[in-house]
Structure formats: structure tokens, C-alpha cells
Amino acid sequence: MACGGFVCSKTSLCILNLIYVMVSLLMIGVAAWGKWFGLVSSFRVMAAVIAVGLFLFVVAIVGLCGAVKHHQNLLLEIGWNKSESMQKDLEISLDCCDFLQVNYSEPCDAACFNDKTCKPCSDIIQTYADDALRFVGGISLFFSFTEILGVWLAYRYRNLKDHRQNPGAFI
């Protein structure tokens, strides 16, 4: 049987979140190590890397718990149903009603409710999530390619002779 069933998806999510946990710990460790040994002089850069590492760590741990326990609160819709204050805030700010299907017989705080033109909030949340993931993915690809360019330049620089020094010296 091909991967795509419950067990395979659960295992894949667990492995992916474990990788993110390791990456986040590596980010935090490398930033702290670089500051400790004086390789990074900017406190802001180190603090930003550590903050991103901590955020990634928290998200990965929550994702790992959600995948291991198949805990619906961490995965989406039941969390929506259990938090009325979050529902109201999202309905007002996203101008949507309910989660999967709009029910005009129940009250909603969105402005579109009076016109009966509301969309379900899950569609809008999914759109925002897709846009955010595309943006983050594009930024990640940009920095990945610049890292590859940096590795190539460092390798090339390492093997070049300094023309200002002794022409016979290779340092």
C-alpha cells in the first residue's frame, strides 16, 4: 500500500516535526556559540536568530504533539469551536462567519452578516495560510540560493592567491 494512509501520514508528520525541533535547536545553539566565541558581534542578529529558533521550536513541539496524539485542538476545527473569543475576533477581522459553512440562523459579528454575503472562515484562513506559506517559501528559497552562492564564493576565494603577497606563496 502506498504512503497516504493514517499511519504513514502520522509518521511523516512526526519525522518532519522532529527535524524542525533539531533545526530549531541547531539555530539556537549556533547563534549562542557564535556569540560566546565572539564570531558574531551583533547582539541583534544573534537575538533574532535565537527568537526565530525558539518560535520554530514551539511550533514544532505543538505540531509533534498534535501528530502523535492526533489531538484535534492542535490541528484546527475543534479549537475553533472551543474558543468563542477567537471566533469573534476572526469573524470581525476577516469578515467571515462560522467555520465550514455559514449558518445565517445563528448570530455572527461580521459586517457581511447583515448583507448575507459571508464566506466560511475556514476558506479565508486557508487562503491566508497559503499566501503566508508561499511568501515564507519564497524568502527561504532566496536565502537558500544565496547560501549556495556563498559556499561557492568561499570555496573559490579559499583557492585564490593573493596577488599583493609573494607571488610564489599560496596561502
pLDDT of residue 71: 56
Residues 6+ apart with CB under 8 A from 124: 94, 96
pLDDT of residue 41: 72
Q: What cell does 21 get?
A: 525541533
45 and 32, same domain (yes or no): yes
**Environment class of residue 56 by beta-carbon count within 10 Å: exposed (0-12), middle (13-18) or buried (19+)?**
middle
Coil, helix or strand at residue 116? coil
pLDDT of residue 75: 55
Q: Which domain holds residue 106?
A: 72-134
43 and 92, same domain (yes or no): no
pLDDT of residue 96: 92
Rounded to the nearest angstrom, the gap between the alpha carbon of residue 114 and the centroid of all alpha carbons in its chain is 36
Nearest to 27 by CA among 48, 13, 42: 48
pLDDT, mean of each 10-residue run, the chain (171 residues)? 65 84 88 78 80 85 77 59 82 89 89 90 81 74 72 71 63 50
* Residue 37 in domain: yes
Number of residues assigned to the chain:
171
pLDDT of residue 1: 47
Give pTM, 2 decimals. Answer: 0.46
